[in-house]
A and B are shown apart, each in its own frame.
Chain A
Protein backbone atom coordinates (compact mmCIF):
# COMPACT_ATOMS: atom_id res chain seq x y z
CA UNK A 1 0.00 0.00 0.00
CA UNK A 2 1.20 3.49 -0.80
CA UNK A 3 1.87 5.70 2.15
CA UNK A 4 -0.22 8.83 2.21
CA UNK A 5 1.57 12.12 2.76
CA UNK A 6 1.68 12.69 6.51
CA UNK A 7 -0.33 15.60 7.88
CA UNK A 8 2.75 16.58 9.86
CA UNK A 9 6.20 15.23 9.42
CA UNK A 10 9.04 16.17 11.75
CA UNK A 11 12.52 15.20 10.64
CA UNK A 12 15.36 15.56 13.13
CA UNK A 13 13.67 18.68 14.40
CA UNK A 14 15.84 20.66 16.79
CA UNK A 15 15.46 24.00 18.51
CA UNK A 16 18.37 25.16 20.60
CA UNK A 17 18.34 28.21 22.82
CA UNK A 18 21.51 29.49 24.46
CA UNK A 19 21.41 27.16 27.40
CA UNK A 20 18.88 24.50 26.49
CA UNK A 21 17.87 22.28 23.64
CA UNK A 22 14.14 22.80 23.89
CA UNK A 23 13.61 20.28 21.09
CA UNK A 24 16.29 17.78 20.39
CA UNK A 25 16.37 15.69 17.22
CA UNK A 26 12.69 14.90 17.14
CA UNK A 27 11.36 12.76 14.28
CA UNK A 28 7.78 11.59 13.92
CA UNK A 29 4.83 11.48 11.52
CA UNK A 30 1.25 12.41 12.13
CA UNK A 31 -1.18 10.62 9.83
CA UNK A 32 -4.02 12.39 8.17
CA UNK A 33 -7.24 12.22 10.19
CA UNK A 34 -5.80 11.11 13.50
CA UNK A 35 -5.66 12.72 16.90
CA UNK A 36 -1.99 12.88 17.73
CA UNK A 37 -0.77 13.73 21.19
CA UNK A 38 2.52 15.18 22.37
CA UNK A 39 2.77 14.06 25.96
CA UNK A 40 5.41 15.23 28.37
CA UNK A 41 6.03 17.06 31.62
CA UNK A 42 6.55 20.83 31.93
CA UNK A 43 9.43 22.04 29.83
CA UNK A 44 9.53 18.89 27.71
CA UNK A 45 9.43 20.90 24.50
CA UNK A 46 5.83 20.36 23.49
CA UNK A 47 4.92 23.98 22.87
CA UNK A 48 8.18 24.59 21.09
CA UNK A 49 7.49 21.70 18.73
CA UNK A 50 4.03 23.05 18.00
CA UNK A 51 5.29 26.58 17.42
CA UNK A 52 7.78 25.34 14.89
CA UNK A 53 5.08 23.39 13.09
CA UNK A 54 2.83 26.43 12.84
CA UNK A 55 5.62 28.68 11.51
CA UNK A 56 6.00 30.83 14.62
CA UNK A 57 9.52 29.60 15.35
CA UNK A 58 12.30 28.59 13.02
CA UNK A 59 14.01 25.30 13.85
CA UNK A 60 17.76 25.44 14.46
CA UNK A 61 18.12 22.15 12.61
CA UNK A 62 15.93 19.60 10.93
CA UNK A 63 12.65 20.35 9.24
CA UNK A 64 8.92 20.05 9.59
CA UNK A 65 6.33 19.68 6.86
CA UNK A 66 2.58 20.00 6.80
CA UNK A 67 1.19 17.76 4.05
CA UNK A 68 4.60 17.84 2.48
CA UNK A 69 4.92 21.64 2.59
CA UNK A 70 7.97 22.89 4.45
CA UNK A 71 7.05 25.19 7.31
CA UNK A 72 10.05 27.46 6.84
CA UNK A 73 10.23 27.72 3.07
CA UNK A 74 6.53 27.95 2.41
CA UNK A 75 5.23 29.39 5.65
CA UNK A 76 2.41 31.14 3.83
CA UNK A 77 1.00 27.97 2.33
CA UNK A 78 1.32 26.21 5.66
CA UNK A 79 -0.60 28.94 7.42
CA UNK A 80 -3.51 28.40 5.02
CA UNK A 81 -3.85 24.81 6.19
CA UNK A 82 -3.64 25.14 9.92
CA UNK A 83 -5.58 26.35 12.92
CA UNK A 84 -3.95 27.12 16.23
CA UNK A 85 -5.19 27.10 19.80
CA UNK A 86 -2.39 28.54 21.94
CA UNK A 87 -1.51 27.33 25.40
CA UNK A 88 -2.01 30.71 27.00
CA UNK A 89 -5.43 32.14 26.43
CA UNK A 90 -4.85 34.59 23.66
CA UNK A 91 -7.95 36.67 24.11
CA UNK A 92 -8.46 40.38 23.65
CA UNK A 93 -10.41 41.33 26.75
CA UNK A 94 -12.07 44.27 25.07
CA UNK A 95 -13.49 42.39 22.10
CA UNK A 96 -16.62 40.29 22.23
CA UNK A 97 -16.55 36.64 21.24
CA UNK A 98 -18.17 37.42 17.94
CA UNK A 99 -15.67 40.19 17.20
CA UNK A 100 -12.80 37.80 17.79
CA UNK A 101 -14.24 35.43 15.25
CA UNK A 102 -14.97 38.22 12.78
CA UNK A 103 -11.41 39.45 13.05
CA UNK A 104 -9.97 36.01 12.45
CA UNK A 105 -12.44 35.33 9.66
CA UNK A 106 -11.11 38.40 7.87
CA UNK A 107 -7.51 37.38 8.50
CA UNK A 108 -8.26 34.05 6.82
CA UNK A 109 -9.82 36.03 3.99
CA UNK A 110 -13.30 34.57 4.33
CA UNK A 111 -16.12 36.39 2.60
CA UNK A 112 -18.54 38.10 4.91
CA UNK A 113 -21.30 35.53 4.32
CA UNK A 114 -18.96 32.59 4.77
CA UNK A 115 -17.58 34.09 7.95
CA UNK A 116 -21.05 34.76 9.35
CA UNK A 117 -22.10 31.21 8.59
CA UNK A 118 -19.08 29.68 10.32
CA UNK A 119 -19.32 32.02 13.27
CA UNK A 120 -22.93 31.04 13.83
CA UNK A 121 -22.02 27.38 13.57
CA UNK A 122 -19.06 27.61 15.93
CA UNK A 123 -20.84 29.69 18.54
CA UNK A 124 -23.55 27.09 18.58
CA UNK A 125 -21.20 24.15 18.65
CA UNK A 126 -19.25 25.54 21.59
CA UNK A 127 -22.30 26.77 23.37
CA UNK A 128 -21.22 30.39 23.38
CA UNK A 129 -24.21 31.93 21.62
CA UNK A 130 -25.62 33.63 24.67
CA UNK A 131 -22.32 35.30 25.48
CA UNK A 132 -21.29 36.10 21.93
CA UNK A 133 -21.86 39.81 22.24
CA UNK A 134 -20.31 40.67 25.55
CA UNK A 135 -16.61 41.59 25.94
CA UNK A 136 -14.39 38.60 26.65
CA UNK A 137 -13.21 40.08 29.95
CA UNK A 138 -16.56 39.00 31.34
CA UNK A 139 -16.06 35.38 30.27
CA UNK A 140 -15.23 32.61 32.69
CA UNK A 141 -11.97 30.72 32.23
CA UNK A 142 -13.72 27.85 30.48
CA UNK A 143 -15.60 30.16 28.16
CA UNK A 144 -12.37 31.87 27.19
CA UNK A 145 -10.90 28.48 26.40
CA UNK A 146 -13.86 27.65 24.21
CA UNK A 147 -13.51 30.95 22.45
CA UNK A 148 -9.85 30.07 21.89
CA UNK A 149 -10.96 26.82 20.32
CA UNK A 150 -13.50 28.57 18.14
CA UNK A 151 -10.77 30.95 16.95
CA UNK A 152 -8.62 27.97 15.98
CA UNK A 153 -11.48 26.46 14.02
CA UNK A 154 -12.59 29.52 12.07
CA UNK A 155 -10.34 28.69 9.11
CA UNK A 156 -11.78 25.17 8.89
CA UNK A 157 -8.21 23.91 9.01
CA UNK A 158 -6.83 20.66 7.64
CA UNK A 159 -4.63 20.36 10.72
CA UNK A 160 -5.64 21.84 14.04
CA UNK A 161 -2.88 22.43 16.58
CA UNK A 162 -3.99 22.66 20.17
CA UNK A 163 -1.55 23.42 22.93
CA UNK A 164 -2.93 21.95 26.17
CA UNK A 165 -6.53 22.49 25.19
CA UNK A 166 -8.01 21.44 28.51
CA UNK A 167 -5.53 23.01 30.89
CA UNK A 168 -7.38 24.44 33.84
CA UNK A 169 -10.84 23.32 32.79
CA UNK A 170 -13.33 21.58 35.04
CA UNK A 171 -13.99 17.90 34.46
CA UNK A 172 -17.22 18.48 32.58
CA UNK A 173 -15.69 20.99 30.20
CA UNK A 174 -12.77 18.68 29.59
CA UNK A 175 -15.09 15.84 28.65
CA UNK A 176 -17.07 18.10 26.37
CA UNK A 177 -13.93 19.26 24.63
CA UNK A 178 -12.73 15.68 24.18
CA UNK A 179 -16.04 14.89 22.66
CA UNK A 180 -15.76 17.84 20.39
CA UNK A 181 -12.25 16.90 19.31
CA UNK A 182 -13.50 13.44 18.37
CA UNK A 183 -16.17 15.03 16.24
CA UNK A 184 -13.50 17.05 14.47
CA UNK A 185 -11.75 13.82 13.66
CA UNK A 186 -14.98 12.53 12.15
CA UNK A 187 -15.02 15.58 9.92
CA UNK A 188 -11.59 14.55 8.69
CA UNK A 189 -9.58 17.17 10.56
CA UNK A 190 -6.18 16.07 11.80
CA UNK A 191 -5.61 17.16 15.38
CA UNK A 192 -2.18 17.61 16.91
CA UNK A 193 -2.41 18.39 20.59
CA UNK A 194 -0.09 18.63 23.52
CA UNK A 195 -1.06 17.51 26.94
CA UNK A 196 0.15 17.22 30.47
CA UNK A 197 -2.57 14.76 31.39
CA UNK A 198 -2.07 11.03 31.10
CA UNK A 199 -5.76 10.23 31.04
CA UNK A 200 -6.29 12.70 28.25
CA UNK A 201 -3.50 11.17 26.19
CA UNK A 202 -4.83 7.70 26.91
CA UNK A 203 -8.46 8.25 26.11
CA UNK A 204 -8.38 10.87 23.41
CA UNK A 205 -5.29 10.34 21.31
CA UNK A 206 -4.99 7.79 18.54
CA UNK A 207 -1.25 7.97 18.73
CA UNK A 208 1.21 9.57 21.07
CA UNK A 209 4.73 10.83 21.16
CA UNK A 210 6.12 10.85 24.66
CA UNK A 211 8.77 13.53 24.92
CA UNK A 212 11.02 14.52 27.74
CA UNK A 213 13.89 16.96 27.74
CA UNK A 214 13.16 17.70 24.09
CA UNK A 215 13.74 14.10 23.03
CA UNK A 216 11.37 11.52 21.70
CA UNK A 217 11.04 8.72 24.25
CA UNK A 218 8.29 6.60 22.76
CA UNK A 219 5.87 6.67 19.86
CA UNK A 220 2.74 4.66 19.22
CA UNK A 221 -0.91 4.24 20.12
CA UNK A 222 -1.69 4.15 23.82
CA UNK A 223 -2.48 0.45 23.44
CA UNK A 224 0.77 -0.32 21.67
CA UNK A 225 2.76 1.62 24.19
CA UNK A 226 1.14 -0.22 27.05
CA UNK A 227 1.51 -3.58 25.35
CA UNK A 228 5.11 -2.72 24.62
CA UNK A 229 5.80 -2.88 28.32
CA UNK A 230 5.41 -6.63 28.15
CA UNK A 231 1.84 -7.34 28.94
CA UNK A 232 -0.49 -6.98 31.88
CA UNK A 233 0.88 -7.41 35.29
CA UNK A 234 -0.16 -9.87 37.98
CA UNK A 235 1.20 -9.77 41.44
CA UNK A 236 0.83 -12.82 43.69
CA UNK A 237 1.37 -12.74 47.43
CA UNK A 238 1.83 -16.08 49.18
CA UNK A 239 1.62 -16.81 52.87
CA UNK A 240 3.43 -17.61 54.97
CA UNK A 241 6.40 -16.33 52.91
CA UNK A 242 9.04 -19.01 52.68
CA UNK A 243 11.93 -18.34 50.26
CA UNK A 244 12.17 -21.95 49.09
CA UNK A 245 8.45 -22.15 48.27
CA UNK A 246 8.48 -18.87 46.43
CA UNK A 247 11.52 -20.01 44.50
CA UNK A 248 9.75 -23.22 43.54
CA UNK A 249 6.60 -21.37 42.52
CA UNK A 250 8.57 -18.95 40.38
CA UNK A 251 10.37 -21.85 38.75
CA UNK A 252 7.10 -23.62 37.93
CA UNK A 253 5.47 -20.46 36.60
CA UNK A 254 8.34 -19.80 34.21
CA UNK A 255 7.23 -22.88 32.34
CA UNK A 256 3.68 -21.59 31.74
CA UNK A 257 3.39 -20.40 28.11
CA UNK A 258 1.23 -17.28 28.60
CA UNK A 259 3.50 -15.94 31.31
CA UNK A 260 6.20 -13.76 29.86
CA UNK A 261 8.31 -12.93 32.81
CA UNK A 262 8.53 -13.80 36.47
CA UNK A 263 10.27 -11.84 39.17
CA UNK A 264 10.28 -13.18 42.74
CA UNK A 265 9.67 -10.85 45.68
CA UNK A 266 10.28 -11.66 49.39
CA UNK A 267 6.59 -12.34 49.87
CA UNK A 268 5.52 -13.50 46.42
CA UNK A 269 6.06 -13.10 42.68
CA UNK A 270 5.40 -10.43 40.05
CA UNK A 271 4.39 -11.58 36.59
CA UNK A 272 3.99 -10.08 33.17
CA UNK A 273 1.41 -11.97 31.16
CA UNK A 274 -0.09 -11.89 27.69
CA UNK A 275 -3.57 -13.27 28.34
CA UNK A 276 -4.70 -12.70 31.92
CA UNK A 277 -7.79 -14.92 31.51
CA UNK A 278 -5.49 -17.91 30.95
CA UNK A 279 -2.70 -16.82 33.22
CA UNK A 280 -4.75 -16.33 36.38
CA UNK A 281 -6.16 -19.92 36.47
CA UNK A 282 -2.71 -21.29 35.64
CA UNK A 283 -1.20 -19.37 38.54
CA UNK A 284 -3.81 -20.60 40.98
CA UNK A 285 -3.50 -24.19 39.78
CA UNK A 286 0.28 -24.17 40.02
CA UNK A 287 0.16 -22.69 43.50
CA UNK A 288 -2.29 -25.36 44.66
CA UNK A 289 -0.13 -28.10 43.13
CA UNK A 290 2.92 -26.83 45.04
CA UNK A 291 0.74 -26.29 48.12
CA UNK A 292 1.51 -22.60 48.31
CA UNK A 293 -1.29 -20.70 49.94
CA UNK A 294 -2.20 -17.68 47.82
CA UNK A 295 -3.14 -14.82 50.10
CA UNK A 296 -3.65 -12.21 47.57
CA UNK A 297 -3.66 -11.89 43.81
CA UNK A 298 -3.71 -8.54 42.10
CA UNK A 299 -4.09 -7.92 38.44
CA UNK A 300 -3.72 -4.68 36.60
CA UNK A 301 -3.44 -3.55 33.04
CA UNK A 302 -0.49 -1.32 32.47
CA UNK A 303 -1.41 2.31 32.65
CA UNK A 304 0.17 5.10 30.73
CA UNK A 305 1.94 6.07 33.93
CA UNK A 306 3.86 2.81 33.75
CA UNK A 307 4.74 3.53 30.15
CA UNK A 308 5.95 6.94 31.11
CA UNK A 309 8.09 5.67 33.93
CA UNK A 310 9.50 2.92 31.77
CA UNK A 311 10.54 5.26 28.96
CA UNK A 312 11.66 8.34 30.81
CA UNK A 313 12.92 6.81 34.02
CA UNK A 314 10.96 9.15 36.21
CA UNK A 315 7.48 9.27 37.62
CA UNK A 316 4.95 11.37 35.81
CA UNK A 317 3.52 14.00 38.06
CA UNK A 318 0.09 14.21 36.60
CA UNK A 319 -1.16 17.55 37.69
CA UNK A 320 -4.71 17.54 38.72
CA UNK A 321 -6.64 20.15 36.79
CA UNK A 322 -6.40 23.23 38.89
CA UNK A 323 -9.45 25.28 39.36
CA UNK A 324 -8.92 28.56 37.72
CA UNK A 325 -9.91 32.05 38.64
CA UNK A 326 -11.26 34.29 35.96
CA UNK A 327 -8.39 36.59 35.46
Chain B
Protein backbone atom coordinates (compact mmCIF):
# COMPACT_ATOMS: atom_id res chain seq x y z
CA UNK B 1 0.00 0.00 0.00
CA UNK B 2 2.65 2.48 1.06
CA UNK B 3 4.96 1.47 -1.72
CA UNK B 4 2.17 2.38 -4.13
CA UNK B 5 1.91 5.77 -2.48
CA UNK B 6 5.65 6.35 -2.93
CA UNK B 7 5.44 5.17 -6.51
CA UNK B 8 2.72 7.73 -7.24
CA UNK B 9 4.47 10.61 -5.54
CA UNK B 10 7.79 9.68 -7.11
CA UNK B 11 6.34 9.56 -10.62
CA UNK B 12 4.45 12.81 -10.20
CA UNK B 13 7.47 14.62 -8.75
CA UNK B 14 9.55 13.29 -11.61
CA UNK B 15 7.09 14.92 -13.96
CA UNK B 16 7.59 18.33 -12.35
CA UNK B 17 11.35 17.93 -12.62
CA UNK B 18 11.07 16.93 -16.26
CA UNK B 19 8.84 19.86 -17.06
CA UNK B 20 11.31 22.23 -15.49
CA UNK B 21 14.24 20.70 -17.29
CA UNK B 22 12.45 21.02 -20.65
CA UNK B 23 11.94 24.70 -20.11
CA UNK B 24 15.60 25.60 -20.36
CA UNK B 25 14.94 29.29 -20.29
CA UNK B 26 12.74 29.16 -17.27
CA UNK B 27 15.16 26.82 -15.53
CA UNK B 28 17.97 29.31 -15.89
CA UNK B 29 15.70 32.00 -14.58
CA UNK B 30 14.57 29.84 -11.75
CA UNK B 31 18.09 29.14 -10.61
CA UNK B 32 19.68 32.48 -11.36
CA UNK B 33 16.62 34.09 -9.93
CA UNK B 34 15.67 37.73 -10.16
CA UNK B 35 15.98 37.59 -6.39
CA UNK B 36 19.70 37.46 -6.86
CA UNK B 37 19.53 40.77 -8.64
CA UNK B 38 17.65 42.17 -5.72
CA UNK B 39 20.43 41.07 -3.49
CA UNK B 40 23.26 42.28 -5.70
CA UNK B 41 21.80 45.50 -7.02
CA UNK B 42 19.62 46.60 -4.15
CA UNK B 43 22.16 45.47 -1.63
CA UNK B 44 24.88 47.56 -3.18
CA UNK B 45 22.66 50.41 -4.29
CA UNK B 46 21.31 51.19 -0.85
CA UNK B 47 24.54 50.55 0.91
CA UNK B 48 25.15 54.24 1.42
CA UNK B 49 21.58 55.40 1.78
CA UNK B 50 20.82 52.91 4.50
CA UNK B 51 21.71 53.76 8.04
CA UNK B 52 23.73 50.90 9.46
CA UNK B 53 22.72 51.99 12.93
CA UNK B 54 19.05 51.49 12.15
CA UNK B 55 19.67 48.24 10.34
CA UNK B 56 21.72 46.87 13.17
CA UNK B 57 23.72 45.03 10.58
CA UNK B 58 27.25 45.47 9.31
CA UNK B 59 26.03 46.36 5.81
CA UNK B 60 22.77 46.76 3.94
CA UNK B 61 23.46 43.68 1.87
CA UNK B 62 23.87 41.59 4.99
CA UNK B 63 20.62 43.01 6.29
CA UNK B 64 18.91 42.30 2.99
CA UNK B 65 20.05 38.68 2.70
CA UNK B 66 17.40 37.33 5.06
CA UNK B 67 14.78 39.35 3.22
CA UNK B 68 15.83 38.00 -0.15
CA UNK B 69 15.87 34.44 1.14
CA UNK B 70 12.31 34.80 2.37
CA UNK B 71 11.18 36.64 -0.76
CA UNK B 72 12.40 33.64 -2.72
CA UNK B 73 10.35 31.37 -0.53
CA UNK B 74 7.38 33.69 -1.01
CA UNK B 75 7.61 33.85 -4.78
CA UNK B 76 8.14 30.14 -5.24
CA UNK B 77 5.38 29.29 -2.83
CA UNK B 78 2.85 31.62 -4.38
CA UNK B 79 3.76 30.37 -7.84
CA UNK B 80 3.61 26.76 -6.64
CA UNK B 81 0.06 26.22 -7.86
CA UNK B 82 0.59 27.51 -11.39
CA UNK B 83 1.34 24.14 -12.91
CA UNK B 84 -1.75 22.66 -11.30
CA UNK B 85 -3.75 25.55 -12.71
CA UNK B 86 -2.57 24.66 -16.19
CA UNK B 87 -3.28 21.00 -15.53
CA UNK B 88 -6.77 21.90 -14.44
CA UNK B 89 -7.35 24.01 -17.53
CA UNK B 90 -6.12 21.54 -20.10
CA UNK B 91 -7.71 18.48 -18.55
CA UNK B 92 -4.50 16.78 -17.47
CA UNK B 93 -5.67 16.96 -13.89
CA UNK B 94 -8.82 15.04 -14.78
CA UNK B 95 -6.70 12.41 -16.40
CA UNK B 96 -4.61 12.12 -13.24
CA UNK B 97 -7.73 12.02 -11.09
CA UNK B 98 -9.26 9.21 -13.10
CA UNK B 99 -6.38 6.94 -12.08
CA UNK B 100 -6.44 4.98 -8.82
CA UNK B 101 -4.07 7.28 -6.96
CA UNK B 102 -4.52 8.75 -3.52
CA UNK B 103 -6.00 12.17 -4.00
CA UNK B 104 -3.22 13.71 -1.97
CA UNK B 105 -0.39 12.43 -4.15
CA UNK B 106 -0.66 15.21 -6.69
CA UNK B 107 -0.52 17.86 -4.01
CA UNK B 108 2.25 16.23 -2.04
CA UNK B 109 4.39 15.83 -5.13
CA UNK B 110 3.95 19.52 -5.76
CA UNK B 111 5.00 20.43 -2.20
CA UNK B 112 8.00 18.19 -2.51
CA UNK B 113 9.05 19.77 -5.77
CA UNK B 114 8.52 23.36 -4.69
CA UNK B 115 10.37 22.81 -1.41
CA UNK B 116 13.32 21.21 -3.15
CA UNK B 117 13.67 23.90 -5.77
CA UNK B 118 13.27 26.61 -3.16
CA UNK B 119 15.93 25.11 -0.94
CA UNK B 120 18.35 24.91 -3.83
CA UNK B 121 17.73 28.55 -4.63
CA UNK B 122 18.17 29.61 -1.05
CA UNK B 123 21.53 27.87 -1.06
CA UNK B 124 22.49 29.74 -4.23
CA UNK B 125 21.48 33.03 -2.64
CA UNK B 126 23.47 32.30 0.51
CA UNK B 127 26.43 31.43 -1.68
CA UNK B 128 26.20 34.75 -3.51
CA UNK B 129 25.78 36.59 -0.23
CA UNK B 130 28.91 34.86 1.02
CA UNK B 131 30.74 36.21 -2.00
CA UNK B 132 29.77 39.68 -0.76
CA UNK B 133 31.13 38.89 2.64
CA UNK B 134 27.94 37.77 4.39
CA UNK B 135 28.82 34.57 6.21
CA UNK B 136 26.04 32.95 8.24
CA UNK B 137 26.89 33.55 11.86
CA UNK B 138 25.42 30.25 13.06
CA UNK B 139 27.20 28.04 10.53
CA UNK B 140 25.83 24.98 8.77
CA UNK B 141 23.34 24.21 11.47
CA UNK B 142 22.02 27.72 10.99
CA UNK B 143 21.69 27.18 7.25
CA UNK B 144 19.75 23.96 7.79
CA UNK B 145 17.49 25.78 10.23
CA UNK B 146 16.94 28.50 7.65
CA UNK B 147 15.97 25.91 5.05
CA UNK B 148 13.54 24.23 7.45
CA UNK B 149 11.87 27.50 8.39
CA UNK B 150 11.67 28.35 4.71
CA UNK B 151 9.97 25.06 3.99
CA UNK B 152 7.47 25.54 6.78
CA UNK B 153 6.56 28.93 5.40
CA UNK B 154 6.54 27.52 1.87
CA UNK B 155 3.96 24.87 2.74
CA UNK B 156 1.43 27.52 3.70
CA UNK B 157 2.21 29.69 0.69
CA UNK B 158 2.00 26.80 -1.74
CA UNK B 159 -1.32 25.86 -0.19
CA UNK B 160 -2.63 29.37 -0.81
CA UNK B 161 -1.46 29.14 -4.39
CA UNK B 162 -3.08 25.75 -4.93
CA UNK B 163 -6.29 26.90 -3.29
CA UNK B 164 -6.35 29.80 -5.72
CA UNK B 165 -5.53 27.56 -8.65
CA UNK B 166 -8.43 25.26 -7.81
CA UNK B 167 -10.95 28.00 -7.24
CA UNK B 168 -10.29 30.70 -9.85
CA UNK B 169 -12.33 30.84 -13.04
CA UNK B 170 -9.48 31.86 -15.32
CA UNK B 171 -5.77 32.12 -15.09
CA UNK B 172 -5.93 35.87 -15.55
CA UNK B 173 -7.65 35.97 -12.17
CA UNK B 174 -4.99 33.76 -10.70
CA UNK B 175 -2.10 35.95 -11.72
CA UNK B 176 -3.75 39.19 -10.69
CA UNK B 177 -4.54 37.71 -7.27
CA UNK B 178 -0.90 36.68 -6.93
CA UNK B 179 0.32 40.15 -7.80
CA UNK B 180 -2.18 41.55 -5.36
CA UNK B 181 -0.86 39.29 -2.60
CA UNK B 182 2.86 39.34 -3.11
CA UNK B 183 3.78 43.03 -3.28
CA UNK B 184 2.13 44.04 0.01
CA UNK B 185 3.52 40.91 1.62
CA UNK B 186 7.01 42.12 0.69
CA UNK B 187 6.64 45.82 1.48
CA UNK B 188 4.67 45.28 4.66
CA UNK B 189 7.39 43.11 6.14
CA UNK B 190 10.86 43.55 7.50
CA UNK B 191 12.39 42.32 4.24
CA UNK B 192 13.71 45.65 3.03
CA UNK B 193 13.53 47.89 6.08
CA UNK B 194 13.49 47.03 9.80
CA UNK B 195 10.21 47.57 11.57
CA UNK B 196 11.76 50.32 13.68
CA UNK B 197 12.35 52.41 10.56
CA UNK B 198 8.75 52.18 9.37
CA UNK B 199 5.94 54.66 10.02
CA UNK B 200 3.82 53.43 12.91
CA UNK B 201 0.86 52.18 10.89
CA UNK B 202 3.15 50.25 8.55
CA UNK B 203 5.02 48.52 11.28
CA UNK B 204 1.70 47.64 12.91
CA UNK B 205 0.54 46.01 9.70
CA UNK B 206 3.91 44.35 9.19
CA UNK B 207 3.56 42.69 12.58
CA UNK B 208 0.48 40.93 11.29
CA UNK B 209 2.43 39.58 8.34
CA UNK B 210 3.82 36.09 8.96
CA UNK B 211 6.64 36.95 6.59
CA UNK B 212 7.95 39.47 9.12
CA UNK B 213 8.23 36.77 11.75
CA UNK B 214 9.99 34.45 9.38
CA UNK B 215 12.53 37.11 8.43
CA UNK B 216 13.05 38.11 12.03
CA UNK B 217 13.94 34.52 12.86
CA UNK B 218 16.26 34.07 9.92
CA UNK B 219 18.11 37.36 10.22
CA UNK B 220 19.77 36.63 13.57
CA UNK B 221 20.76 33.20 12.28
CA UNK B 222 22.70 34.99 9.57
CA UNK B 223 23.96 38.02 11.48
CA UNK B 224 23.97 37.34 15.23
CA UNK B 225 24.09 34.11 17.22
CA UNK B 226 21.95 31.26 18.53
CA UNK B 227 21.16 33.03 21.78
CA UNK B 228 19.44 35.77 19.92
CA UNK B 229 17.94 33.47 17.31
CA UNK B 230 16.36 30.78 19.44
CA UNK B 231 13.52 32.79 21.03
CA UNK B 232 12.60 34.10 17.61
CA UNK B 233 12.69 30.64 16.12
CA UNK B 234 10.33 29.51 18.85
CA UNK B 235 8.05 32.37 18.02
CA UNK B 236 8.06 31.74 14.29
CA UNK B 237 7.25 28.08 14.82
CA UNK B 238 4.06 29.09 16.59
CA UNK B 239 3.17 31.63 13.93
CA UNK B 240 3.83 29.17 11.12
CA UNK B 241 1.90 26.38 12.79
CA UNK B 242 -1.16 28.61 12.80
CA UNK B 243 -0.46 29.99 9.31
CA UNK B 244 0.07 26.56 7.78
CA UNK B 245 -2.98 25.13 9.48
CA UNK B 246 -5.21 27.84 8.04
CA UNK B 247 -3.68 27.66 4.57
CA UNK B 248 -3.75 23.87 4.41
CA UNK B 249 -7.34 23.84 5.51
CA UNK B 250 -8.24 26.32 2.77
CA UNK B 251 -6.20 24.40 0.20
CA UNK B 252 -7.76 21.06 1.01
CA UNK B 253 -11.23 22.57 0.92
CA UNK B 254 -10.66 24.16 -2.47
CA UNK B 255 -9.23 20.89 -3.76
CA UNK B 256 -12.20 18.89 -2.50
CA UNK B 257 -14.67 21.33 -3.95
CA UNK B 258 -12.98 21.32 -7.32
CA UNK B 259 -12.42 17.59 -7.56
CA UNK B 260 -15.00 15.97 -5.34
Binding site for B on A (CB under 8 A): 51, 54-58, 76, 79-80, 82, 84, 86-92, 94-95, 99, 102-104, 106-109, 135, 151, 155
Contact = CB atoms under 8 A, between A and B. Distances in A.
Interface in B66-81: none
B86 to A, nearest CB: 9
What bracket does the count of chain B residues touching chain A fall in? 20 to 34
A86 B19 contact: no
B92 A56 contact: no
Nearest to A151: B95
B23 interface: yes
B99 interface: yes
B17 to A, nearest CB: 11
B8 to A, nearest CB: 6
Contacts of A54: 98
Nearest to B20: A94
B34 interface: no
B2 to A, nearest CB: 12
A92 B20 CA distance: 12
Contacts of B92: 90-92
Contact of B90 (A51, A55, A82, A90): A90
B18 A99 contact: yes
18 contacts: A55-B97, A55-B260, A79-B98, A79-B100, A80-B100, A84-B94, A86-B91, A89-B91, A90-B94, A90-B95, A92-B15, A94-B23, A95-B18, A103-B11, A103-B12, A107-B96, A107-B101, A109-B4
A79 B99 CA distance: 6
Contacts of B101: 107
Given A104-B99, A107-B99, 12 more contacts: A51-B94, A79-B100, A89-B90, A90-B94, A90-B95, A91-B90, A91-B92, A92-B19, A92-B87, A103-B14, A107-B101, A108-B99
Most chain-B Cβ atoms within 10 A of its Cβ — which of A57, A79, A107, A135? A107
A106 B11 contact: yes
Contacts of B18: 94-95, 99
Contacts of B23: 94
B15 A95 contact: yes
A123 to B, nearest CB: 18
Nearest to B19: A94
Given A88-B90, A91-B92, A56 B19 contact: no
A92 B11 CA distance: 14
Nearest to B89: A88
A212 B209 CA distance: 54
A76 B90 contact: no
Contact of A103 (B15, B22, B98, B260): B15
A155 to B, nearest CB: 7
The 9 A-B residue pairs with the shortest CB-CB distance, nearest first, are: A106-B11, A90-B91, A79-B100, A94-B22, A107-B99, A84-B98, A88-B91, A90-B95, A94-B19
A154 B155 CA distance: 33
A109 B100 contact: yes
B10 interface: yes
A56 B98 contact: yes
Contacts of B91: 86-90
Nearest to A106: B11
B7 interface: yes
A86 B95 contact: yes
A108 B18 CA distance: 20
Nearest to A80: B100
A84 B23 CA distance: 28
Contacts of B99: 79, 104, 107-108, 155
B116 to A, nearest CB: 18
B95 A95 contact: no
A87 B90 CA distance: 10
Contacts of A99: 15, 18
B91 to A, nearest CB: 4
Contacts of B11: 102-103, 106-107
Contacts of A56: 94, 97-98, 259-260
A104 B15 CA distance: 11
Interface in B4-43: 4, 7-8, 10-12, 14-15, 18-19, 22-23
Nearest to B9: A106
Interface in B193-250: none
Contacts of B100: 76, 79-80, 107-109
Q: Which of A51, A103, A135, A155 has its CB near the most chain B CB atoms (within 10 A)?
A: A103
Contacts of A58: 260
B15 A82 contact: no
Contacts of B22: 94-95, 135
B260 to A, nearest CB: 5
A106 B109 CA distance: 14
B53 to A, nearest CB: 51
Contacts of A76: 100
A20 B4 CA distance: 40
Contacts of A106: 7-8, 10-11
